[in-house]
Structure 1
Amino acid sequence: MSDQFTEIKYVGEHRADVLSQAGYTSLEELSQATKQEVASVDGLDEAIAERIVHHFEKER
């Protein structure tokens, strides 16, 4: 299920697993998260959170 997160640049298998373990179950759900919410996930930092949020902003 976490494989879908690897579609995001800079998110490989490890970070995808971290997002799944944090409770994110879909790209749609992750797209609604704020940078602060993503950065609060253990194993992710603010720079990666910024890139994830930016990924979804580009799609809008």
Structure 2
Amino acid sequence: MEAKEEVLLYPLHTEKALAYIEKYNTLVFIVRRTATKLEIKEEFEKRFGVKVEEVRTLITPRG
């Protein structure tokens, strides 16, 4: 059986991400590039026990 890849890799702790957290009460995470919004939502709800209202993604030139 193949091990499932992690969906949520790590939280982002840049100055811009921290300002976004404070202003919009939103968390910023780096996720597996091939993860779908549904996978991200389900993993976050399972891991942290909270209701996710919306998932927004951004793919940068750095990947």
Under TM normalisation by the shorter chain, which class is it? 0.3 to 0.5
Q: Whose helix fraction is larger, Structure 1's or Structure 2's?
A: 1
Bigger Cα Rg: 2
Q: TM-score, structure 2 length as denominator?
A: 0.35
Q: Whose strand fraction is larger, Structure 1's or Structure 2's?
A: 2
